[in-house]
Amino acid sequence: MSLKYNNYFVLYGLLQIVFGVLGVTMSQQSIAQNTSSLKKSAPLYQNGFDLASGGASLTRATQEGVIFANPSLIPIGDGIWRSFYGKNTFAVSEGSLNIVKSVLESSSANNIASNILQNIFDKPAYLNNATALGLLTSYVGIGGLSSFNFSMYGEKFGSIGLPELSVKSNSYAGVVLSAGTTLSDYLSIGISPKYIYNTQIDTTLSVGDLSNLNQGLNKLKNSLTQGSGIATDFGATLQVRSKHFDVRVAGVVTDFGNTTFSGSNPPWLQTYHAGIGLTLHDNSNALHCAADYRDLTNVYNEPLSKKMYMGCKLIITKWIAFGYGLLQGWPSYGMVLNLFVARIEAGTYTTDLGASPGLSPRTIYFLTLGYEL
């Protein structure tokens, strides 16, 4: 039997073990837990280009995304030194752009307020600013992160049958130290502990709250929760490589043992995720396609569409790359341009802001500027 078929035989055997373990895990009865965290099953941080490529990052992530997506990816690759990076991403929804446009076109203060509310009820508003700094080697990754997320969307018939404005903010800052190693030519493992300071606002404003500024501000203030905690992730990746074709299967446990915070923040629950990736490549170009299924045991009770990530990246030499995918069931696409040490990423993707798919979709545009050495 050739080496090629030996490799695939080993991969098949490893897959049987992985899915056997997952089957036992998923058959266990779930215990009711506090699921009010806004983070849900999504990664703590994702590179913009990864999101524009469908968000499937468990088997292959972009540089700084590795230590947040799957620490067992750290030892996979050539060379000891991987990257010294710094990136800032600004993302805004189509609804937010409509608000800015309406403000510029309004002739009076009353018109401005009216137009803002009308736009929020038509399309969700969303703002995000994220900064990531750090370095990555074939053994460890060290990074710092800050991310501000703010969203608003209107419901014409809220909890009491009257219009309501939903306000959500989930922001955090922290540091991460990841480490990984290979156990064989086919298997790598990794661990990623993180210190996180987290703040969250999750409330609704009624017509009365909107008409009384102090009342509305007090409601937002009372909804604020904040605290710090240690979050730990574990990852394992199975890989079979050939000259022009690679296969990877990955499993990740995030927030091992549940991540609890010192303040009143709801916990981040332990979740299990699995992904598969296929890569066609030569010495300088690659086509990587992947699919992730997050929260295998459904501890957050999210719709299936919110847990599915899939897409492809076409990497043309080291200068340019294109991505396309389905992020939570919505089309996404983007590109990367590397200019020596500078890196520019841009694209668009759509996510569901509401609890059910299709009720409050938000189309998001992003721009990332940074450097990689």
Would you state the pLDDT for residue 324? 96
Strand-pair partners of 152: 125, 167
How many angstroms separate the CA atoms of 178 and 75, rounded? 11
Mean pLDDT within 212-223: 83
Pairwise CA distance, residues 89 & 334, whole Å: 14
Number of H helices, E strands in the chain: 7, 14
> Residue 320: pLDDT above 90?
yes
pLDDT at 131 over 50: yes
Joined tokens for residue 200: 């969250």
pLDDT at 193 over 80: yes
Give long-range contacts, CB 8 A cutoff, 24+ apart: 142-146.
142/175, 142/176, 142/177, 142/178, 143/64, 143/67, 143/68, 143/175, 143/176, 143/178, 144/173, 144/174, 144/175, 144/176, 145/44, 145/45, 145/68, 145/172, 145/173, 145/174, 145/175, 145/176, 146/172, 146/173
Is the pLDDT at 32 greater than 70, yes or no?
no
Residue 114: its pLDDT value, please?
63
- Whole-number pLDDT of residue 156: 67
> From CA 247, how far away is CA 277, in angstroms rounded?
6
Residues 333 and 188: their CA atoms lie apart, in Å, by 30
CA-based R_g, the chain, Å:
22
- The single residue listed with the structure tokens 């053994």 is 139
- CATH fourth-level superfamily of 35-372: monomeric porin ompg (2.40.160.40)
Contact 272, 55 (CB under 8 A): no
Whether the per-residue pLDDT at 191 is higher than 50: the answer is: yes
Q: Where are the domains of the chain?
A: 35-372
pLDDT of 33 above 50 = yes
Cβ contact 45:132 at 8 Å: yes
Compute the mean pLDDT over every residue in the chain, rounded to the nearest whole number.
83
More confident residue, 159 or 226: 226
Helix (H) or strand (E) holding 120: helix 109-122
Please list, residue by residue across 221-248, b when 16 or more beta carbons sit within 10 angstroms of its beta carbon and e when fewer do.
eebebbbebebbbbbbbbbbeeeeebbb
| Single-letter residue type at 296 | L
* pTM for this prediction: 0.82
Confidence band for 357, pLDDT divided at 50, 70 and 90: low
pLDDT of residue 358: 64
Average pLDDT over residues 141-169: 81
**What is the rounded average pLDDT of the residues 266-289?**
93
Calpha distance 256→356 (Å, rounded): 27
For residue 145, the model assigns a pLDDT of: 92
Helix residue spans in 172-254 (DSSP H): 207-211, 213-223
pLDDT above 80 for 116: no
| pLDDT at residue 218, as a whole number | 86
